[in-house]
Copies of this chain bind each other. A is one copy, B any other.
Amino acid sequence: MSEPGWRVVLLLAGGFRDAVDALHGELAEQGHPEARPLHGFALQAIGPDGCTINELGQRLGVSKQAAAKTAAGLERAGYVARGSVSGDRRAVLLSRTSRAEEFLAASEAGFEHIMGRWRRHLGADRFDAMVEALAEVVGDGPVGDLPGWLSQTPTRR
Which residues of A come within 8 Å of B, CB atoms?
A: 3-20, 23, 40, 107-108, 110-116, 118, 121-122, 126-131, 133-141, 143-152
Is A111 a contact of B4 with CB atoms below 8 Å? yes
Which of B40, B107, B133, B140 is the one whose CB lies under 8 Å from A129?
B133
Asked if residues B131 and A8 are in contact (CB atoms below 8 Å), the reply is: yes
C-alpha gap A39/B104 in the complex (Å): 35
| A9 and B16 contact, CB distance less than 8 A | yes
Query: For the complex, would chain A's binding face be called helix, strand, loop or mixed by DSSP majority?
Result: helix
In the complex, which residues of chain B have a beta carbon less than 8 angstroms from the beta carbon of A112? Answer: 4-5
Please give the distance in Å from A44's CB to the nearest CB on chain B: 8
B147 touches A118 (CB 8 A): no
CA distance A137 to B123 in the complex (A): 11
Closest to A121 in B: B137
Question: Roughly how many angstroms separate A122 CA and B138 CA in the complex, as a whole number?
Answer: 11
Task: Pick the 3 closest A-B CB pairs, nearest first.
Answer: A148-B149, A148-B148, A5-B111
List 6 interface pairs A-B (beta carbons < 8 Å), by A numbering: A5-B115, A11-B140, A12-B12, A12-B15, A126-B129, A149-B150
Pair A134/B12 contact, Cβ less than 8 Å: yes
- A149 closest partner in B (C-beta): B148
A146 contacts across to B, CB distance below 8 A: 13, 149
Q: Which of A113, A136, A148 has the most CB atoms of chain B within a 10 A radius of its CB?
A: A148
